[in-house]
């Protein structure tokens, strides 16, 4: 039994086995830093590379992230104050008038998998609710989603509200009708055309 078994369990998308192996390593006296870096983060890096190369599918990547988080929860108390586990804080939601959530949820899950702390506000979210949450969470990023062409103006209204309240968080936009030109037009900090690109963009905007 080694840390490599945790690594392999993450790659096998087996959350229960990850938890079991982390328990075993802790009982063997392995340091939480080693478990974190070599057992939990390293396989996700590998998964990320495979995903970028088109060798891993989204459900597999999400399953790996869930398996990793299972192990992470076990060691989180001991890591507090030692490691900054959070890549950044993201508030995400589908804008007012739009009830579509799957694309937005996908981005949220992938951001979580990449180490971001994500607050998912759901669908049909008022500009004021985005603002409130961004303030409370001290968000680094606010991510706005829309599927309907008709709700694109709500994106602009939300962004305007955030800027008027002097929120410093970067604002990302995405969704079927949105493009870079629209993002530029309304003054968003970034646009991503799919979930993996959103993660790359979020990291880049925060200098990760």
Partner 1 sequence: MVGHTFSFFTSSQIEMLRDKVLELLQTQGVKLDPHPQMFKALADAGADVDTGGGMVRFPKPVMERLLKQAPKKFSLGARQPDAILELPRPDGTFYARTNTGGHGWIEPDAQNYRKVTSADLTAWARLVTELSEISFIAFLFCNDVPVQTADVHGLSTLLKNTPKHAWVQPYSTGSVEYLIRLGEAAAGGKSALAKNPVISMIACSLAPKAFKQMDLEIIYQSAKASLPIQACSLPGAGGTAPATTAGVILLASAEILAMLAMAQAVAAGTPVVACPIIFSTDMLTGRSLQSSVEAFKAASGAVQFIKAAFDLPTHNYGSGSDSPISDGQGMSERAMLSMLMGLSGSDILGGAGQLEVATVLSPLQLIIDNEVIGMIRQLMRGIEITDDSLAWDVLAGTKPGEHFLTSKHTLRHCRDVHRPGVFARPTREGWERQGKKDVMDRALEYYRKLMDKENPYHCDTGLLREIDSIVGAADKQLIG
Question: What residue ranges bind partner 1 (CB under 8 A)?
Answer: 51, 54, 57-59, 97, 99-100, 102-103, 106, 148-150, 152-153, 176-177, 194-196
| Least distance (Å) between residue 207 CB and partner 1 | 25
| Least distance (Å) between residue 171 CB and partner 1 | 20
Q: Which is nearer to partner 1, 29 or 54 (CB)?
A: 54
Q: Which is nearer to partner 1, 25 or 112 (CB)?
A: 112
Q: Which is nearer to partner 1, 33 or 52 (CB)?
A: 52
| Least distance (Å) between residue 57 CB and partner 1 | 4
Q: Which is nearer to partner 1, 86 or 99 (CB)?
A: 99
| Least distance (Å) between residue 117 CB and partner 1 | 21
Cβ count near 98 (within 10 Å) = 23
Q: Which is nearer to partner 1, 142 or 192 (CB)?
A: 192
The answer to whether 154 touches 95, Cβ cutoff 8 Å, is yes
| Least distance (Å) between residue 94 CB and partner 1 | 12
């Amino acid at each position: 039994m080694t840390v490599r078994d945790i690594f392999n369990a993450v790659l096998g998308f087996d959350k229960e086995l990850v938890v079991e192996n982390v328990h075993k390593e802790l009982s063997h006296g392995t340091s939480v830093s080693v478990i974190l870096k070599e057992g939990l983060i390293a396989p996700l890096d590998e998964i990320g590379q495979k995903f970028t190369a088109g060798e891993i599918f989204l459900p597999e990547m999400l399953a790996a992230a869930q398996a990793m988080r299972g192990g992470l929860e076990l060691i989180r108390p001991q890591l507090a104050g030692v490691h900054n586990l959070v890549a950044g804080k993201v508030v995400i939601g589908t804008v007012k008038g739009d009830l579509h959530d799957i694309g937005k949820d996908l981005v949220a899950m992938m951001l979580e998998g990449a180490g971001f702390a994500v607050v998912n506000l759901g669908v049909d979210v008022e500009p004021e609710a985005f603002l409130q949450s961004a303030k409370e969470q001290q968000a680094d990023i606010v991510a706005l989603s829309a599927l309907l062409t008709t709700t694109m103006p709500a994106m602009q209204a939300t962004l305007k509200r955030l800027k008027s309240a002097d929120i410093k968080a970067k604002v990302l936009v995405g969704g079927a009708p949105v493009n870079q030109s629209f993002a530029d037009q309304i003054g968003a900090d970034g646009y991503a055309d799919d979930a993996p690109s959103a993660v790359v963009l979020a990291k880049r905007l925060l200098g990760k």
